[in-house]
Chains A and B, each alone.
Chain A
Amino acid sequence: MKQYVSELWYHGSTRANLVNVVVGTLAVIIATYLVYSIFVNLFDFRFLTGPYGSPDRSAIFVFLHVEASDPRWLGMLKGAGNTISVVVFAIALASLLGLFVGVARLSTNPILNRLGGIYVETFRNLPLLLLMFFFAFGVFRSLPQIEARTGIDGFFMVSNRGIAVPWLAGAHDFWWLWMIALFAGGAVALWVRRRREQQEDLTGQTMHGNAWALAIFLGVGVVSYVLLLFPLRPALPEVVQSDAGFFAYQHGALLGLGYISALVSVTLYFGAFIAEIVRGSIQAVPHGQVEAASSLGFTTYQRFTLVVLPQALRIMIPALNNEFQNTNKDSTLAHVIAFGEIVLISNRIVNNAGNLLQVYLFIFIVFIVTNLIISTIMNTINKNVQLK
């Protein structure tokens, strides 16, 4: 018996199996506990239909303003909309800025070169949170008060309450039907263009695919605009004064303190990283390519746009994907500067109703979905620019 036990113990696989059973048992206990506790706590979703309780009008678009009577689930959706409204513009602006600065850093012009270097080394090395505080409470607070605003009155107004710009306003409750019409028109136009291009490839006859597509899109847009009784009309911002003498912006789009600070700091911060990606990707294009283009008689501009940039794009897109996803995630820091993005809106719900797990699960889903969308877009672009 003793010998049998000792043989079993010193047999290689026995002890390995024992470890497997112990570790496996522990893993199952922990996993079951996590799932169990989440389900016990997540069971109740009734709080979602309760009223949000207080208004938040820090969004730039009126349809994203959270009203006190909105149900909580609508408040969270609007919070997600606010996050998207800052991330989309920040990604676009940071990419433009990064492209410009990245190219400038490679320029032979010493001033452009140095300025680019100073910008990158400043903003890349500062915490994003600090930038947000700096712009919200340092820069924008010291702008003139709303009574003494600058800019062009009734068109573009700047004060420490925010920047008011002209925007579009729905003329009736069904203005969004026009958006659907535009979308449908765009889809039809793209389909027609593709059909005509295919025919052009087949027959060699010029089929004017782009012109047709443009004509269809504009035609659908104009006709539906008239049929829907001019659904969207330009709205100019104005400043109104209450009976007791308080000033407030009205109409147009208000880029409030929180929104503008978040947009500026996120753009400047990620612009610096994108500039470095752009610079590195351009430098990674073999020098022989530039020399070949020069010897073929390309101008500097042609050399850059036709030879260097297309090849640099192939290198930079996977890295840009990371930066864009970080932009999306780090936009949540804007909750500290009174911008009603998803975390701020959700934290208020947690504070009133206390359903932290459910609310944070929603935030997780929003970020996973939006980041996957960014990934999908970038991967599609990546596929198109790779060598085939």
Chain B
Amino acid sequence: MTGRILLLALAIVAGLMIFTACTTEDAGDPREDTLGVILDRGTLVCGIKADTPGFGVLNPDGSAVGNDVDYCHALAAAIFGDANAVEFKEATSANRFELLAAKEIDVLIRTTTWTASRDADLNVAFAPTTFYDGAGIMVHAGSGVTSVNELGGSTICILDGTSTQGAVSDYFAENGLTYSELTLQDNAAIRGSFIGGQCDAWSSDKSQLGGHQFSLKSDENLDAIVLPETLSKEPLGPSVRDYDSEWEDIVRWVVNGMIIAEEQGVTSANVSQMAANPPNNTVARLLGVGFDGGAPSNLGIGHGRIDGTFMQDVISAVGNYGEAYERTLEAVGLTRAGSLNDSYVNGGLIYAPPMR
């Protein structure tokens, strides 16, 4: 009997000692090395949206298209020099942050709004915004409504788990309007409810509503209008885990690099020519080459673990910001000219800090 108790005590003490030894180190140093993991694995794992034309459509064979998807390709090109060294995983609005925190994905590029509570509370850090969006409301054209302020007493369909819910709630409360919410789990269910009159209005980010408006007209011959008010700021962009600023820097500067490339007129067509003969210092630093016979400047992104010429691979694979936008978003009817997503040169918000 004493032997049994002794053995039990021994097991408990040994267990606790090993446990303490394992955890003390973790607690002191929460840094991560996502880049190292990606390099070891040989592919980038990217969490994207599966069903939104323009941003992310995941095909059954594992390939994907969309603006978000292009940034995944850009990152793979920057790391491996191969834009196709990327594996796509569907991230839903309900599981996206868990996928990221559980290291199932290396980067989340899935029309995710940058908010203070997400930034502070969740294990997530936001890279630069790639698309400036905002919540809007769409109604049947036959309703005769021309402003959100006329929607008091209506029923509004909203996708569950999105920041649109809060935006609509805040806007209606501020304007003293009441409404009922029908919250559904996917866009197909909302579409059916909107057509069937279970809800009077459909609220989502305006970028999404444009696509739905287009397909309602083409598939059902149903006229809908997106009301002019924008209810919220929805800056969408890539996000990574907290405590990994090296990996965050790479994501950040690939996006910034694509914006600078557009400002400087570097495109997928002329990038090799620009690299061979850079017109100015800005382009030379962007492409990691020397200007006018000088030595290339080392910006230190990736700390030597990715090539200094990574932006050449990115631009030759997916092009600059404008090229990616035109190929994916312009194609689904999201006009860029004059919108918030125009370059700052033309009065928009797309602006990158200098690469030097």
Contact = CB atoms under 8 A, between A and B. Distances in A.
B184 A244 contact: no
Given A27-B15, A344-B160, A353-B121, A248 B153 contact: yes
Given A244-B144, A356-B98, A336 B200 contact: no
Given A21-B7, A28-B16, A36-B23, A56 B181 contact: yes
B180 A54 contact: no
B14 A244 contact: no
Q: Which one of A28, A36, A336, A355 has the highest number of Cβ atoms from chain B below 10 Å of its Cβ? A: A28
Given A33-B19, A53-B169, A54-B165, A24 B8 contact: yes
Nearest to B147: A244
B169 A55 contact: yes
B151 A244 contact: yes
Given A24-B15, A338-B182, A347-B94, A244 B198 contact: no
Nearest to A136: B189
Contact of B16 (A20, A32, A145, A355): A32
Interface string A346-387: 011001111110000000000000000000000000000000
Contacts of A146: 197
Interface in B186-240: 189, 192-193, 196-198, 200
A160 B157 CA distance: 14
B181 A32 contact: no
Q: Which one of B121, B152, B192, B198 has the highest number of Cβ atoms from chain A below 10 Å of its Cβ? A: B198
A28 B160 contact: no
B118 interface: yes
Contacts of B14: 21, 25, 28
Contact of A54 (B8, B145, B181): B181
Contacts of B8: 24
A355 B169 CA distance: 22
Contacts of B197: 145-147, 160
Contacts of B7: 17, 20-21, 24
A68 B19 CA distance: 44
A119 interface: no
B200 A246 contact: yes
A146 B144 CA distance: 18
Q: Which one of A257, A351, A355 has the highest number of Cβ atoms from chain B below 10 Å of its Cβ? A: A351
A347 B97 CA distance: 13
Interface in A317-343: 335-336, 338, 340
Given A56-B183, A141-B193, A160-B198, A25 B18 contact: yes
Given A25-B14, A25-B18, A47-B121, A352 B166 contact: yes
Interface residues of B, number: 52
A29 interface: yes
Contacts of B264: none
A54 B150 contact: no
Contacts of B3: 17
Contact of A354 (B93, B121, B145, B193): B121
A129 to B, nearest CB: 11
Contacts of B18: 25, 29
The majority secondary structure among interface residues of chain A is: helix
Interface string A171-188: 000000000000000000
B228 to A, nearest CB: 15
A61 B208 CA distance: 34
A96 B22 CA distance: 58
B44 interface: no
Contacts of A20: 7, 11
A21 B5 CA distance: 11
Given A17-B7, A248-B180, A257-B198, A137 B153 contact: no
Contacts of B122: 354
B296 interface: no
B117 interface: yes
Contacts of A201: none
B185 interface: yes
B118 A54 contact: no
B42 interface: no
Interface string B115-137: 00110011000000000000000
B192 to A, nearest CB: 6
Nearest to B18: A29
Contacts of A32: 15-16, 19
Nearest to A240: B153
B161 A348 contact: yes
A218 B152 CA distance: 44
Contacts of A24: 7-8, 11-12, 15
A21 B10 contact: yes
B19 A29 contact: yes
Q: Which one of B16, B165, B185 has the highest number of Cβ atoms from chain A below 10 Å of its Cβ? A: B165
A347 B161 contact: yes
Interface of B: 3, 7-8, 10-12, 14-16, 18-19, 23, 93-94, 97-98, 117-118, 121-122, 143-145, 150-155, 158, 160-161, 165-166, 168-170, 173, 179-185, 189, 192-193, 196-198, 200
8 contacts: A20-B7, A36-B19, A54-B181, A141-B196, A160-B197, A257-B182, A338-B183, A355-B121
The 9 closest A-B CB pairs, nearest first, are: A28-B15, A242-B153, A24-B11, A54-B165, A145-B197, A246-B154, A244-B150, A54-B169, A68-B169
